[in-house]
Amino acid sequence: MIPFFISYTYLILSTTVHIANAAANKSIFILSGQSNMSGRGGVVNLNWDGYIPPESSSNPSILRLNAKLSWEVAAEPLHRNIDVAKVCGVGPGMAFANSLLKKDLRFGVVGLVPCAIGGTNISEWVRGGGLYNRMMRRAKVAVRGGGVIRGFLWYQGESDTVNVEDAEAYKSRLHRFFGDVRTDLHLPLLPIIQVALASGSGPYTDMVREAQLRTKLVNLRTVDAKGLSLQEPEMLHLTTPAQVSLGKMLTNAFLQTCHPHS
């Protein structure tokens, strides 16, 4: 009989080798924005219920760049140890990745790079700022071991609905932000999938939504989250089932950038 510690060590080494090999040939997606991208599905009264739907379950072909900048098998909550000031739950990322692999096996291994931080205004994501620089560092580390950044998933704007000045400036700030991301990643045609708000923190939600829906760029797709179910009582964050639905919507929108006439 093989001693337990030897078999356990072999398992760990085998998993590490598998991840290292997979990381050399992966399709990378950056997940950024604020709380609904970070994931609050199942979080009530500052506690996550721990429920992970099948569509968001772990898959050996889906990896996550963790807070230590190492690849590991991805699992919900994706933004644990990333969005450190908040309680994280289910977001759209795992449902997106599982749906993508189900629809198109050519993507092989998916590498997710979680970068979203809850409660952030788009002005905090300005080029050269702390959040932007951290996101860029994580994105650039992600490709060092091999792989290609295939897409940028962005869900943000709730914090910009609080005052009229932010809401009025949102479209120009968003346009500049997307341009900066593409420039700094040296990917001028990088597919960007953004989410139009389902809800907002303030009275100018419609103004921000209009800015999102009217922003037009090559290889930009906008997924509208309005109408997806929201968690009570705050009615700000998407429920777990809504996050699953959003993940699938993000997949469909991304595949349209690959096959624009489908």
Q: What is the pLDDT along the chain (262 residues), one digit of tens a residue?
A: 444 344 433 333 334 445 555 667 899 999 999 999 999 999 999 999 999 999 999 999 999 999 999 999 999 999 999 999 999 999 999 999 999 999 998 899 999 999 999 999 999 999 999 999 999 999 999 999 899 999 999 999 999 999 999 999 999 999 999 999 999 999 999 999 999 999 999 999 999 999 999 999 999 999 999 999 999 999 999 999 999 999 999 999 999 998 654 4
Tokens of 252: 């469909």
Q: Angle at the Cα of 168 (from 166 to 174), degrees rounded to 5?
A: 75
Question: 87: helix, coil or strand?
Answer: coil
Beta-carbon neighbour count of residue 188 at 10 Å? 10
In order, the DSSP letters of 223-239 are EE-TTS-B-TTT--SBP
Tokens of 125: 């994501």
Q: Are 24 and 145 in contact (CB under 8 A)?
A: yes
233: preceding bond cis by omega (within 30 degrees):
yes
| Element of type H or E holding 55 | none
CATH topology classification for 4-258: Rossmann fold (3.40.50)
The residues spanned by each domain of the chain are: 4-258
Say which residue the tokens 């140890």 belong to: 81
Q: Note the Cα 120 to chain centre separation in Å.
A: 15
Tokens of 163: 């005052």
